[in-house]
Structure 1
Amino acid sequence: MKRKRRKRHPVRKAVLGLLVIFFCTALGAGTVWGMKGYGMYQEALTEKPLDVRVEEVRNREDFTPYSELPQFYIKAAVSVEDHRFFDHWGVDLIAIGRAVWNDIKAMSFVEGGSTITQQLAKNLLFTQDKKMERKAAEVFAALEIESNYTKEEIFELYANTVYFGSGYYGIGEAARGYFGKSPLELTDYESAMLAGIPNAPSAYSPDTNKELASRRVNHVLKSMVRHKLITREEAGEIEKSFPFQ
């Protein structure tokens, strides 16, 4: 007896077709963005090599070496910005996958999935414009940065180039501008605040909105608890000492 062929459900067939089209479109777009990004990356290096840019940062008056960064600030920033920083090779594929999925759901560029290394690449080499080719350029730059500098050097450079709001670039300017002290003198709650500001400097700066600054510190501390960097009790004690509640 001849077996009857099972008819493929029309809806399932349509969904499969759409997935194939989406995959091919994404692959083609990714190739184009990748080529443009590589060109942008090479253009930036031609304008000024990476090592020259790094030395310029290190020669700044307010440059703060890694040894003078509070350990609490380092843990807080890594926790909230890139908790796999010390394990990845400059690009976090898990974070990128999550970001792409969220962007697709929102039908907008709402999440970037950038690592601390990619953020450093952006600060050193590129503009802040949210363009796909720039994101691709960040990847190429991040790979070069990771191959030439240690994780400690990368975080050091990140902390000295990131924008902290209110016109402060780098943790040295931010610590003195907001608290009137050097980075090494920062308390835990001050470190948590500075770790949280770069996500949205204009919103989380205590000069702009003390309530939002307080909420952001709370978010940073919860992230640190979630990643087992501090206990709930320690987070609670730090929250109580926060002056803008």
Structure 2
Amino acid sequence: MFKKAIKKIIALMLLIALLIGLFFTAKGYILYKTSISKIPIAEIVQEITDKDSYTAIDDMPDIYLEAVVEVEDKRFYSHTGVDPIAIVRALYNDIKAMSFVEGGSTITQQLAKNLYFSQEKKIERKVAEVFMALAMEDKYDKDEILELYVNSIYFGDNYYSIGEASRGYFNKEAEALTPYESTLLAGIPNAPSVYSPSEDSKLSQERHKQVLDRLVEGNKLTQEEAELIFQNKKSAGGETND
């Protein structure tokens, strides 16, 4: 009798969870369709590419692009816009903390959020972000998405693209960035108000070290190469405009 009651309770809870999931999926889909009907993806992409600061991916240092992928979305080139592994990990950490402490968003989802949605942490917004990311992946290839992403993210100090950040912090175009500068900039968008060199150089350097460590873990740099980049700030041309 007791076991039957438990089974009924579990079945009821699963049904409720399913209904809640369907409810937020529907709300998210409506938000996605409403957003894309107001401004089609091609139109909003055109607005980005028309900016004077826009930088083509071929004009960015390879180490900068590798660093962005390693710290933001290391499975970027293998997923379809949504990373199930990252979502499960984020869900686990959120449940453990009983709060939204980790989003599990891919680079494509972050691009979708930056272009269409607010930073408000609502379930329907996350669902809409997923639909938008899938639509973007269907329309653009990975390099195009990465190019759009780094041309539309915030680097602090009112710099909203890699072009603006490279000129603002180092007085040069992105293609001339040194390994030091490239890896330093790659870590800023995670928390611009904290990691911007002009805000707190100590935290900026700590974040820079984290980026280099991720590159080592991803076999993009050896430990010796990472240490050389981190230690040779002046010789690398990495003086910031503090």
The reply to whether residue 225 of structure 1 matches residue 213 of structure 2 is no
Note closer, same or farther for the CA distance 1:49–1:235 as it changes in structure 2 (3 Å cut): same
Correspondence for 1:116:
107
Partner secondary structure for residue 161 of structure 1: coil
The reply to whether residue 49 of structure 1 matches residue 52 of structure 2 is no
The reply to whether residue 190 of structure 1 matches residue 159 of structure 2 is no
The reply to whether residue 212 of structure 1 matches residue 186 of structure 2 is no
In structure 2, distance between residues paired with 1:215 and 1:51: 38
In structure 1, distance between residues paired with 2:82 and 2:16: 23
Correspondence for 1:167:
158
Compute the displacement of 1:148 (Å): 0.7
Deviates more, 1:210-219 or 1:28-37: 28-37
* AA aligned opposite 1:164: F
Structure 1 ranges of 4+ moved more than 6 A: 16-19
Choose from 84, 90, 93 the match for 1:99: 90
Note closer, same or farther for the CA distance 1:20–1:214 as it changes in structure 2 (3 Å cut): farther
Could you report, residue by residue, the CA deviation over 1:90-126 in whole angstroms, capped at 9, with x for unpaired residues? 0000000000110000000110000000011111111
Compute the displacement of 1:131 (Å): 1.4
The reply to whether residue 144 of structure 1 matches residue 135 of structure 2 is yes
Note closer, same or farther for the CA distance 1:216–1:24 as it changes in structure 2 (3 Å cut): farther
Give % identity. 49
Q: CA RMSD in A?
A: 1.9
Choose from 37, 54, 57 the match for 1:66: 57
What is the 5 A alignment of 1:8-27? 23-27=14-18
Partner secondary structure for residue 129 of structure 1: coil
In structure 2, distance between residues paired with 1:22 and 1:207: 51
Instruction: Tell me the TM-score normalized by structure 2.
Output: 0.91
Correspondence for 2:167:
176
What is the 5 A alignment of 1:71-86? 71-86=62-77
Unaligned segments of structure 2, at least 5 residues? none
Note closer, same or farther for the CA distance 1:78–1:164 as it changes in structure 2 (3 Å cut): same
In structure 2, distance between residues paired with 1:68 and 1:17: 61
Partner secondary structure for residue 85 of structure 1: coil
Compute the displacement of 1:34 (Å): 1.1
Note closer, same or farther for the CA distance 1:122–1:28 as it changes in structure 2 (3 Å cut): same
Compute the displacement of 1:21 (Å): 6.1
Compute the displacement of 1:202 (Å): 0.8
